[in-house]
């Protein structure tokens, strides 16, 4: 195996001809760029040599459970726009899924207390309601605190559902358990919000499925996207 000797080539020219020179060097395919610029203060802003967004879009669309019939004619096809749409939908699905999961968990917690609406703060002279699910065995501890105003609103064979009335959250060591976060929305409002979120998620999933018809053309344009990413990277590496 022969080790070829590398040669260093320095190219100087007019700045307005830079893109033309880089295009020619890319077609030549015989040079490796050495950056002439100092490292960026924010490395995450460096331009990648790979079309990362295109790869992400292909992966996202290919993983879609249901795919549409593939379009193979490029009439009206804009790879950059399709990739942009795919990544936007991907982020929306993530955000809405997180919101849905939060609502499901909140509904589960609030359901234990029933369907109620919190009073406005000025309706209680500045007092607030704090919710605790206290083991029955620890319930007697609350009665021993003379300055604690509370009401047991429900009991089962294991827990007492306690509402404390206070202007500030009781100090942690005065309560046998951490408080339950119920939020400001009633159970009915939470369920309405969850239903809207599910519909919104369904719409974005349908949009994702619609974009799967472009998987073939995106893949066919991958080499072009790689060239474009390489050019952008070269622009950043050279003076």
How far apart CA 127 and CA 145 sit, in angstroms, is 18
In a domain, 103, yes or no: yes
Do the domain assignments include residue 216?
yes
Q: Which residues make beta-bridge pairs with 151?
A: 163
CA distance 236 to 239: 8
Q: What is the pTM of this model?
A: 0.67
186 class by beta-carbon count within 10 Å (0-12 exposed, 13-18 middle, 19+ buried): middle
**Which residues, at least 6 apart from 152, have a Cβ–Cβ distance to it below 8 Å?**
139, 160, 161, 162
Residues 148 and 110 in one domain: no
87 occurs within a structural domain: yes
Residue with tokens 């002439």: 36
Residue 158 lies in a domain: yes
- Reply yes or no on whether the pLDDT at 17 is more than 50: yes
Residue 26 lies inside a defined structural domain of this protein = no
Domain span including residue 144: 121-181
Q: Is residue 5 situated within a structural domain?
A: no
Q: 211 and 102, same structural domain? A: yes
- pLDDT, residue 223, reads 67
Dist CA 113 CA 185 (whole Å)? 13
Residue 64 is assigned to a structural domain of this protein: yes
- Verify that 159 and 104 share a domain, yes or no: no
Judge if 102 and 131 occupy the same domain. Answer: no
> Does residue 141 belong to any structural domain of this protein?
yes
State residue 102 phi and psi, 5-degree precision.
-65, -45
| Pairwise CA distance, residues 2 & 90, whole Å | 48
Q: How many domains does the chain have?
A: 2
106 and 52 share one domain: yes
Q: Select the more confidently predicted residue: 129 or 18.
A: 129
pLDDT tens per residue across span 107-121: 988 888 888 888 887
pLDDT for 69-95, tens place per residue?
999 888 888 888 999 999 999 999 999
Are 58 and 103 in a shared domain? yes
**For the residues 150-175, what does the mean pLDDT come to?**
87
Instruction: Map residue 155 onto helix, strand or coil.
Output: strand
Residue 53 has pLDDT above 90, yes or no: no
pLDDT at 203 over 70: yes
Residues 86 and 129 in one domain: no
Whether residues 128 and 77 fall in one domain:
no
Whether residue 218 sits in one domain with residue 177: no
Q: Let me know whether 106 and 219 are in one domain.
A: yes
């Amino acid at each position: 195996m022969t080790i070829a000797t590398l040669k260093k080539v320095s190219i100087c020219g007019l700045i307005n001809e830079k893109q033309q020179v880089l295009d020619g060097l890319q077609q030549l395919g015989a040079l490796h760029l050495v950056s002439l610029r100092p490292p960026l203060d924010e490395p995450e802003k460096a331009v990648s040599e790979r079309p990362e967004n295109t790869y992400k879009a292909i992966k996202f669309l290919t993983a879609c459970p249901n795919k549409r019939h593939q379009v193979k004619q490029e009439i009206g096809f804009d790879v950059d726009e399709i990739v942009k749409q795919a990544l936007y939908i991907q982020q929306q699905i993530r955000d809405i899924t997180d919101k849905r999961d939060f609502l499901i968990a909140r509904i589960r917690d609030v359901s234990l207390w029933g369907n109620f609406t919190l009073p406005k703060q000025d309706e209680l002279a500045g007092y607030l309601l704090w919710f605790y699910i206290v083991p029955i065995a620890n319930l007697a501890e609350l009665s021993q605190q003379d300055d604690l105003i509370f009401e047991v609103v429900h009991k089962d064979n294991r827990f007492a559902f306690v509402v404390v009335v206070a202007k500030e959250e009781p100090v942690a060591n005065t309560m046998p358990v951490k408080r339950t976060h119920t939020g400001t929305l009633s159970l009915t409002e939470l369920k309405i919000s969850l239903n809207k979120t599910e519909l919104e998620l369904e719409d974005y999933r349908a949009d994702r499925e619609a974009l799967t018809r472009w998987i073939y053309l995106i893949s066919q344009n991958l080499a072009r996207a790689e060239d474009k990413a390489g050019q952008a990277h070269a622009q950043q590496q050279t003076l």
